Amino acid sequence: MSDPSTAVRLDGKVVSEQVRKELAATVSEFKSKHPAFAPKLVAIQVGARSDSSVYIRQKSKACSEVGIIFEHIQLPDDIQQAELDKHLDKINNDPTIHGIIVQLPVPDHLNTKHIVHSIRPEKDVDGFHAENIGHLSKRATEPFFHSCTPLGCIELLKRYNVPVAGKNAVVVGRSDIVGSPIAMMLTNLDATVTLCHSKTEDIEAKVRDADILVVAIGKLEFIKADWVKQGAVVVDVGMNAKDDPSKKAGYRWVGDVEAAAKQRAAYMTPVPGGVGPMTVAMLLSNVVTSAIRHFEASSVVSIVPNPLTLQDPVPSDIAIASAQTPKLISQLASELNLAHAEFEPYGKYTAKVTLDVLDRLQGNSNGHYVVVTGISPTPLGEGKSTVTIGLTQALYAHLKRPAFACVRQPSQGPTFGIKGGAAGGGYSQVTPMTSMNLHLTGDIHAITAANNLVAAAVDARLFHESTQTNMQLFNRLCPKKKGERKFADIMLRRLQKLGIDKTNPDDLTAEEIARFVRLDIDKIMWRRVLDTNDRFLREITIGEAATERGMARRTGFDISVASEIMAVLALTTSLPDMRERLGRMVVALSKQGEPITCDDIGITGALTVLMKDAINPTLMQTLEGSPVFVHAGPFANIAHGNSSIVADRIALKLVGAPAGEPVTLDNAGYVVTEAGFGADIGFEKFVNIKCRASGLVPDAAVIVATVRALKMHGGGPDVVPGKPLAEEYTRENLELLEKGFANLRRHIENVNKVGFQAIVAINEFATDTPAELELVRKLAREAGAYDAVPTNLWAKGGAGAAELAEAVVRCCSESKQNSNFHMLYDCNLPIKSKIEAIAKEFYRAGSVSFSEEAEQKIEEFTRNGWDKMPVCMAKTQYSFSADPALKGAPEGFDLPIRDIRASLGAGFVYPLCGAMQTLPGLPTRPCFYDIDVDSETGDVLGLF
């Protein structure tokens, strides 16, 4: 090294200013490309020490100069450890915060070590966490952050081009904050390092041999000038007050090294103005680094496929699912950039995701939105769920695009009845399929409990009103407690509805009391539900016990997924919105013909409590590791047949583009959602009910078709579950197939009618011939489909849908440029006009006939102001008409409306077309014959 008469000043003040300007430019440039970028540092201060407050102000000012948001949380000095831990936990789990510091020292009753290690390593911008310090000792790994003061020392050496490799470096002081970290950092820069401390013998000799000397012991002028090697580099971290009567303060700042050492050193830091300014600069650098790292990581969904091992012949669904080990749900959540507080695991492979994600990502653009629908199916189903899952696997695992499936939760009725599970099939499944097809996270049980609580409350209110006077009812509804009556909060809603502007029960007049307590229930419209196929509960008599005093009445059960509460869950957009929807559900009519709601019954809050966890979608995954939301499960023939709006919204944000950035093929992924049954039912309701409520606009629609179903629509024999397929379905028959294509043509036309381009996914079966598949492909393209693609995803998983996925990507890209989406009807039209629009435009009916009961209901609904809601047609899924035996593409028929009902909570009216069962029955041979548990392993057997 050189031998100057005076050392070159390692000017930390000058360098720190350079660093700050560079950081400000970096933040500004990054923000210009990514408008949502907002680096943030939170500083926690316990107590009000004046020196700590000065440091906090300095950091706040420095952050402002660079473009970092700074938040100062000042806590009382008597705060207990547990309360401080709560604050740390909250900001640890806040993804908008990129750096956390706790200003030290803290009061003696708090555990400093515990506090330092409570900060998550990836937010520990001070670099104090043991994990960050520990990684310094490993050459193969890097810490999230280096400690600020050692990092500042190294930065000074770099800025002044001081060579380090091969030099003898001596570090005096072994603190976790400076000495030990810088010793490891110098080692990693290929210096030969000696670490000295209070027990080191003959420190002077070791110092004399140092080419680079770093001193951080906090002892005034401990290192004497003549110890310093001629031409050495001296980094003095110390900051000590030395008496000096000549100074106004009576003291001056000196380091751990005698200032005269600059006469021997080649380079030396001044005190003050050396290391001190660099510490704050490096803190800022760590925050910016953290923010950029977080932004880049959270802006892209990590694609980590779970490879399949395909077998031929294809094993059973449950055997395939059992052979594939899913990713841990914590790993999947991490790949999706979910914060720890945004998901709640239910076991190892399932989690609930909170709606807080929507708040965090509200500025993000949505990803590409794809809906999967189908042709009019056979009773065996055409594999729409399988295509939904297989397409998602293809996008994710084979095209390497972020992709999310959003599907409905299966009802246990079909699972144990005739249809089996609904997790997809073959190598295109949601996993674990046993969890999905059984209890999952309990959402359907919550709906069942909430629905039946309403039923019990309505019957109980009718009973009590029939056996008590007005004052008896009033005294029980508003009992005196310690001499005072109070209205429950929910009661104030009923008072408001009645126009009674009073909040003190004792202020009510006798007439007001009567109006308040008397619902005068006449016709109960609410039925009980259960999640089991049970034909003998379709019509029942209740209230037969002597204790019910002759109040028996006829009623019945529906299947749980037919409950209006299920439709509310599927269409709600937030917890407050769900509460409002639950409150306006109509459960009965009064003797005056007035609607009685859940708010009137006083049960809305309790229902919301039962449903508060169910509103969060359930996160699962496909066999190939792509994420899936399973949420809500309304049937498509008797309800609107789509998964939830909140699941779609969260998924679209998670795979979308960062705020302020346009959606492109490169920065946004795909959300594939499924609409139940054929395009005449689930898809029509997806467009006119779900999209109307959500405001979301899809980019592409996939219609699932099979050769089998098209042959049936061409006049083939009935397809009956449990019976072998007729020869027409197992041998090539192009004539029958072409005739039945009329059904698919109609569905393509309907999809095109509302502004979508339809992609036909031909779900290939082993008995389909190449000529049959090619005929469907040719006819579909001629009919106006964007493309028609054979798929073999049951046997090959995502690989069997790669061509379909490529067609979807192309279609979505073009749709963003040329969207022509529109609803089929205006909600302000009269109810009859909306029904006729669906019947004539989508079904091709020639006329619509209304029963006398339906006519009366329409008048009643119009009088009550319920005529401005969309229409949810309850109709067979097997035909465009109300007659399930009328196959193909019939037209000119009459569509009979035998009744019409209102779901005010869900927000639609639903006409009943023909005879519709709302509670299925069990067949002669239900699926439950094959379902069992392996008593040795506990594995479920026989689900499919």
Residues sharing a CB contact under 8 Å with residue 394, sequence separation 6 or more, in sequence order: 793, 798, 799, 800, 801, 802, 804, 805
Q: Name which of 528, 508, 498 is nearest 590 in CA terms.
A: 498
**Euclidean distance between CA atoms 719 and 729, whole angstroms:** 9
Residues sharing a CB contact under 8 Å with residue 340, sequence separation 6 or more, in sequence order: 92, 93
**Euclidean distance between CA atoms 737 and 865, whole angstroms:** 48
Catalytic one among 11, 40, 45, 59?
59
How many CA atoms, within 13 angstroms, populate the side-chain half-sphere of residue 267? 22
Within 10 A of 843 (CB to CB), how many other CB atoms are there? 26
Catalytic one among 126, 648, 680, 787?
126
Which element (helix H / strand E) includes 407?
Answer: strand 403-407
Beta strands (DSSP E) in 419-550 are 424-425, 428-431, 521-524, 528-530, 540-542
Q: From residue 109, how far is each of 79, 80, 114, 285 by CA, in Å? A: 9, 8, 12, 32
**Euclidean distance between CA atoms 784 and 629, whole angstroms:** 32
Q: Name which of 414, 396, 416, 413 is nearest 405 in CA terms.
A: 396
Within 10 A of 690 (CB to CB), how many other CB atoms are there? 26
Residues sharing a CB contact under 8 Å with residue 447, sequence separation 6 or more, in sequence order: 529, 560, 561, 563, 565, 566, 569, 611, 614
Concerning whether 648 is annotated as a catalytic residue, the answer is no
Catalytic one among 103, 429, 757, 877?
103
How many CA atoms, within 13 angstroms, populate the side-chain half-sphere of residue 776? 35
How does 632-663 read in b/e, with b if 16+ C-beta sit within 10 Å? bbbbbbbbbbbbbbbbbbbbbbbbbbbeebeb
β-strand pairing of 212-215 with 233-236: parallel
Residue 489 backbone dihedrals phi, psi, to 5 degrees: -55, -40
Q: Name which of 172, 327, 162 is nearest 236 in CA terms.
A: 172
Which element (helix H / strand E) includes 241?
Answer: strand 240-243
Q: From residue 620, how far is each of 75, 279, 347, 405 by CA, in Å? A: 40, 45, 11, 10
Helix, strand, or coil (residue 559) = strand
β-strand pairing of 618-622 with 351-353: antiparallel
Peptide bond into 272 cis (omega under 30): yes
Helix, strand, or coil (residue 253) = strand
Tokens representing 866? 């319920």
Concerning whether 400 is annotated as a catalytic residue, the answer is no
Concerning whether 126 is annotated as a catalytic residue, the answer is yes
- Catalytic annotation, residues: 59, 103, 126
